Homo-oligomer: A and B are copies of this chain.
């Protein structure tokens, strides 16, 4: 990372401190701080959710823990989820698995943009289409041998960038935390208490 950092500083100076719309001094400041003091990398992200009746529920996201401190977002983020009518909802929000695809799209995109930026690769445009396969028999409890989650997810990126080797861009997606959570798995502990 040290070499990349050095070469990027030159690149970002040329572009007024911005590469791919990212303020490189800020990004590299965070990278360097965590490199020097690894405990600064420990972060806790959070969401609160309230059920609104039926398949409609709402998450609120206000802040997180990082760099050894509680950090508030500039604004409160409110995200609604519901199901379409065929799944007995009212379409008041994307459904949970669509929210998962959004999280994945956002994360892989951000990872590609940030990691190209620190390597001095400029991206002009980037779009993606995601599709995930799920057999609803799993969720509905109709077949024990059917997976309850997504089995296969496909992401197709279209990119306009100053790089001939698109495989290099693809490799940078491997840094994505959401991609890694989905492909490598995470432990999820659930507690249910009386209100």
A87 → B minimal CB distance (Å): 6
Q: How far is the CA of A156 from the CA of B194 in the complex (A)?
A: 11
Instruction: Sort A-B residue pairs by CB-CB distance and give the 7 closest, nearest first.
Output: A149-B180, A96-B107, A21-B54, A81-B106, A149-B181, A21-B53, A99-B103
Q: Total interface residues on A, using CB and 8 Å?
A: 134
Q: Is the CB of B191 within 8 A of A47?
A: no
Q: Which residue of B is nearest A101, CB measured? A: B47
Q: Which residue of B is nearest A67, CB measured? A: B86
* Copies of this chain in its oligomeric complex: 2
8 A Cβ contacts from A115-162 to B: 115, 123, 125-143, 146-160
User: Does A97 touch B at the CB level, under 8 Å?
Assistant: yes
8 A Cβ contacts from A5-30 to B: 20-24, 26-27, 30
